[in-house]
Chain A
Amino acid sequence: MKILIVDDFSTMRRIIKNLLRDLGFTNTDEADDGNTALPMLRSGKYDFLVTDWNMPGMSGLDLLKAVRADENLKTLPVLMVTAEAKRDQIVAAAQAGVNGYVVKPFTAAVLKEKIEKIFERIQ
């Protein structure tokens, strides 16, 4: 299971990386916005994408839309972990095809629950 973590803050990437490792996912890569993430996703055979929303360059929502529009990536499970808390935004993310939505600040238990739920549904 190879996971890409996208967030513009290195501390948040590190926190998510640590939590994922505790959940048994040790094969992770990091990117700091959509523009860096997209080429990695296209060439890297990732199984799961965890992304922030608000980032300089390409936002998480645009990244999600780009993933869904890409023939090879469109089925990639995407979990959004973000401080964006407007109802409209959550609806927009759902419409764009997000698989899970976690608002910051979050707990390890919430992250675990959402990731498990996503994989349950896929299997």
Chain B
Amino acid sequence: MSENDKNQQGLDPEITEKLRSQAAELVEQVNAGEYGRAMTLINDLSEVRDQSLYREVGRLTRSLHEAIRNFQIDPRNAEQSEALSKMTDASDRLEYVVQMTGKAANRTMDLVEEAMPRASAIRDEAAELRDEWQRLRRREMAPEEFRELYARIDTFFVSLNADAGAMYENLSEILLAQDFQDLTGQVIQKVTTLVKEVEEHLLSLVVMASHVDQITGTVHELEEKDKVSAEQGVGPQIKAQEREDVVSGQDDVDDLLSSLGF
């Protein structure tokens, strides 16, 4: 905070002091007609200007380096630590998050797709047996049919037991497939911290650069950046509820479309 205050208020007192004394000496020398000495002083002055910039850039570079070096994630097991040690930069780590979430989603869907036909087979067979059972209770069933039903119910119980067991296995494996969240959450939090630190350092750099511009009287002509086209798609919106230009859910979409005559 105190560093930021310093940046916002202006230059290092040491440097302003140097500027002041050398400027005064420069005026003296020019008045005295000592132009050679005056030129040296002008050089010294610009050195003073550069010095504060270099010092600040050096400090920022060091803390940026530090931030990146501290970018570590605690692995849970040997396999994870090996995977993580291979990844040196943030984009690698985010790629790892994409891979892990993709793997978990596919694993979950494999298990669901495997369980679904079992569930629907149980549902269908149970419905048929229920109808047959009702017929039996209404005494509409011939002895021959009953013997058939009797065998069918027997088979059903056996397969019901096996299918329910297999589905239970699938469900508990689906549960386990969610373990990616622990490690990906850690990776994302670390990347977020790194981005925040880098952002802060860059912001100080920008503030400092603006001071340098003020001192040197530099005016930049900034080109208007092309707006990102919404035509290409911009991805999910964050904090949709707080924004006017973004819908906050399907109901909003439906309202908007019906207002357009849909």
Contacts and interface: CB of A to CB of B under 8 A. Distances in A.
A83 B250 contact: no
Interface in B58-113: 102, 105-106, 109, 112-113
Interface in B209-243: 230-237, 240
A15 B105 CA distance: 10
A12 B248 CA distance: 21
A18 B253 CA distance: 24
A76 interface: no
Interface of B: 102, 105-106, 109, 112-113, 230-237, 240, 245-250, 253, 256-257, 260, 262
Interface residues of A, number: 30
Contact of A59 (B112, B233, B247, B262): B233
A61 B229 CA distance: 12
A65 to B, nearest CB: 10
A108 interface: no
A88 B233 contact: no
Contacts, number: 76
27 contacts: A15-B109, A18-B109, A18-B113, A53-B233, A54-B232, A54-B235, A59-B233, A60-B233, A61-B231, A61-B233, A62-B231, A82-B233, A83-B236, A84-B233, A84-B234, A84-B235, A85-B237, A85-B248, A87-B245, A87-B246, A87-B256, A89-B230, A90-B247, A90-B253, A94-B257, A94-B260, A103-B250
Given A14-B109, A54-B232, A87 B250 contact: no
A92 B230 contact: yes
B232 A92 contact: no
A85 B113 contact: no
